[in-house]
Amino acid sequence: MKKLMLTTAIAGLALTASAIAQTTITGEIRVNHKAVSAETAPAGQISTTSGRGFGTEQQINFATKGKLTAGGLDYAAGFSLENDAQQTGNVFNENTFIDLTNASSGTTLSFSVDHIQRNDSDRSAANIFGFAPSEFSSGGHVSLMSATPGPGVGQSQSVAVIQDIGKFGKLSYNYAPTLTNKNTTVFTHGQGNSENFTETDEKGGYEIGFVGGLGVQGLTVDYFTSRQTKMAGEAEKAKGQNIGIRYNTGALTIGAARKVWNDNASTAAIKTETTEKNYGIAYAVNKDVTIVCYMLQLKMTKQDQQQP
């Protein structure tokens, strides 16, 4: 007789705004115009080599913060409703978080999605406008650059520890028990029951990061490295690295970023490593007008067939 044993562990954390909490509601709307072109249509995509038109994004942010009666910890919690153009996914997966902070040590424990400092960001001058190069570079209805180099830990439901080290910067360790590899999609929020998302065969992943000015006014540097646990039947696991720097002096801002990543692969021979570089410079003509110029580079390298 066969026996089936099912073990379930459930733990929860819930915060409800009280009368002494500070709650805020903010929002924004963006309208942009973009025109891009490519010499040839991307393989597997539609035949057009150019695209142009208006884009829009709307976002509403809900946040509350206060102090817990037990332990004297500060807390912050919130979520955002975001619609990117014609959104087809879940509009609740933007900046969802519950943070518990020990103010004396500068340590924060975060249960969140799309919230803490993470790999899918860059320090090039392009993000002065709130855009990443991947949002500027789509042509023929396909994105030429990647928003998430490597495993999408920051876009997964995860638990993170962030340590504030003063003017030097912030260190972070972020762990997602289950994530969806970038090879398919960076979103991990499946159709689930009540508070749970659908279980998948994806493995967990982690990301270590640093963001800070190293004590230099106007400077911002970052470093992120991420790894995913090797999946069954895969010889190569997904991993990524992001290094960036940005410096502002008066009206002038310069920045650069380098990202290197690969998805999981069934054999080393078909593993493809992608390197992305972008450089930017921006000049604020006045408080209303800023001129930005930047350059993007993308290189894809397939591993040697003889590599073990």
Mean pLDDT over the full length of the chain: 75
More confident residue, 229 or 242: 242
What per-residue confidence (pLDDT) applies to 48?
58
Q: Could you read off the pLDDT of 41-50 as tens digits, one per residue?
A: 555 555 556 6
What per-residue confidence (pLDDT) applies to 189?
39
Q: What CATH number labels 24-37+46-302? A: 2.40.160.10
Q: What is the distance between the alpha carbons of residues 267 and 274, in angstroms, rounded to a whole number?
A: 17
Residue 14: CA atoms inside 13 Å, Cβ hemisphere, count? Answer: 4
Q: Any idea which of 178-182, 231-235, 248-252 has the lowest mean pLDDT?
A: 178-182
Q: Looking at the predicted structure, is the pLDDT value of residue 153 above 70?
A: yes
Q: Looking at the predicted structure, is the pLDDT value of residue 116 above 60?
A: yes
Backbone angles phi, psi at 166, to 5 degrees: 65, -140
Query: Within 10 Å of residue 89's Cβ, how many Cβ atoms?
Result: 11
Q: Looking at the predicted structure, is the pLDDT value of residue 118 above 80?
A: yes
Beta-bridge mates of residue 276: 259, 298
Share of the chain above pLDDT 70, in %: 65
Q: Where are the domains of the chain?
A: 24-37+46-302
Q: Could you read off the pLDDT of 68-107 as tens digits, one per residue?
A: 887 789 999 999 988 876 666 667 778 889 999 999 999 9
What per-residue confidence (pLDDT) applies to 191?
41
Q: What is the distance between the alpha carbons of residues 248 and 246, in angstroms, rounded to a whole number?
A: 7
pTM, whole model, 2 decimals?
0.78
Query: Within 10 Å of residue 185's Cβ, how many Cβ atoms?
Result: 12
Q: Looking at the predicted structure, is the pLDDT value of residue 23 above 60?
A: yes
